[in-house]
């Protein structure tokens, strides 16, 4: 999933890492070899 905006939160469904976007640079977030899931 491509990062769309600042403040979005993403989670890795494998290890549980969570990331908050502070600057959008394009591309996707990947952890443990899988795309991270957008948290609602």
pLDDT score at 23: 95
pLDDT score at 6: 95
pLDDT score at 11: 98
Q: What pTM does this model have?
A: 0.86
DSSP secondary structure letters along 1-40: -B--STT-EEE-TTT--EEE-SS--SSB-EETTEEPEEE-
Domain annotation for the chain: domains and CATH numbers: 9-39 (2.20.28)
Dump pLDDT digits (tens) for 1-40: 789 999 999 999 999 999 999 999 989 999 999 999 999 8
């Amino acid at each position: 999933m491509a990062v769309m905006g600042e403040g979005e939160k993403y989670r890795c469904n494998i290890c549980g890492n969570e990331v908050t976007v502070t600057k959008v640079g394009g591309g996707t977030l990947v952890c443990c070899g899988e795309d991270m899931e957008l948290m609602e």
